[in-house]
Amino acid sequence: MNLCQILQEIFFPGNPEVWHGNVTILIKDEVIVESLEDEQECSDGKAQMKNRSCSDLSRNAQLVAETIVFSFLQKKRHPERSNFLTPCIGIAKSCLVILLYDSEHDVLLESSLIPFMSATCSNKFSVDAILVTWLALNYKYLCTGLTEEMLPCKANFFEQAKKSLDVYKNNLTKQNVVSACEREVILLTEWSYSTYLLEKQNKINELNRKRASEYMTFKERST
């Protein structure tokens, strides 16, 4: 099995003309869970992945991009739904965050950072973290959409992506976004003016290539 075949087994939301990339976990085709990791070199020279700190979750470019793209994709795949407020769960070393984007009204929401462990009971998971995660996983049954107060709080993504907005609305796909092993060419074209976002995207690209290579090695060993 070659690298192209391996990449086709990984979930790629998006379109090569705009943002695309793989996600850590997709639960029941409904909710993205993204674990933020950095590659660090061990004393033996080998690299290992280490979860980032909680501060990296807030306004994270990767989480924002995945949340926006997946909301557009869900709207295209499920136009019958009453609202398109779609969540993404971001996970760091000791906490999580929930992002939600409504691709109909261009509203992006982000929760506060939620610790995994209870602040009052030693070695116990936080009830808040469990409850919020459960609500996010069951959003299609429980979420009633934006309130009237939320509607004016625009993310301005429609304006920033106006040249490519039609691609987001009509041409996103769930998999096999990248052809001919071109996965390393991944850009947020609408936000290419941002040095910060480009630096973050380059790190994501390196991590994606490493994951694909490791997955290919694992598959070869298991066959």
pLDDT in tens, 28-57: 889 989 888 665 555 555 555 566 778 888
Q: What's the confidence (pLDDT) of residue 23?
A: 73
Q: What's the confidence (pLDDT) of residue 38?
A: 60
User: Residues 69-79: pLDDT tens digits?
Assistant: 899 999 999 99
Are 47 and 62 in contact by the 8 Å Cβ rule? The answer is no
Q: With cut-offs at 50, 70 and 90, classify the pLDDT of residue 139.
A: very high
Percent of all residues in the chain with a pLDDT value above 90, rounded to a whole number: 37
pLDDT of 1 strictly over 50: no
Give whichever of 7-16, 107-116, 205-214 has the largest mean pLDDT: 107-116
Which residues, including other chains, have CB under 8 Å from residue 170's CB and lie 6 or more apart?
A: 76
Q: With cut-offs at 50, 70 and 90, classify the pLDDT of residue 115.
A: very high
Query: Tokens 């999580």 belong to which residue?
Result: 96
Q: What global pTM score does this model have?
A: 0.69
Q: Taking residues 59-88, what's their average pLDDT?
A: 92
Other C-beta atoms lying within 10 Å of the C-beta of residue 69: 26
Q: Residue 79: in which H helix or E strand, if any?
A: none
Q: What's the confidence (pLDDT) of residue 196?
A: 52
Phi and psi torsions of 114, nearest 5°: -115, 110
Q: What's the confidence (pLDDT) of residue 120?
A: 87
Q: Taking residues 79-108, what's their average pLDDT?
A: 94
Give whichever of 64-68, 151-155, 196-200 has the largest mean pLDDT: 151-155
Q: Taking residues 109-121, what's their average pLDDT?
A: 92
Q: Could you state, in order of their start, the residue ranges of all structural domains in the chain?
A: 3-222
Q: With cut-offs at 50, 70 and 90, classify the pLDDT of residue 177.
A: very low
Residue 97 — left, alpha, or beta (φ > 0 → left; ψ -120 to 50 → alpha)? beta
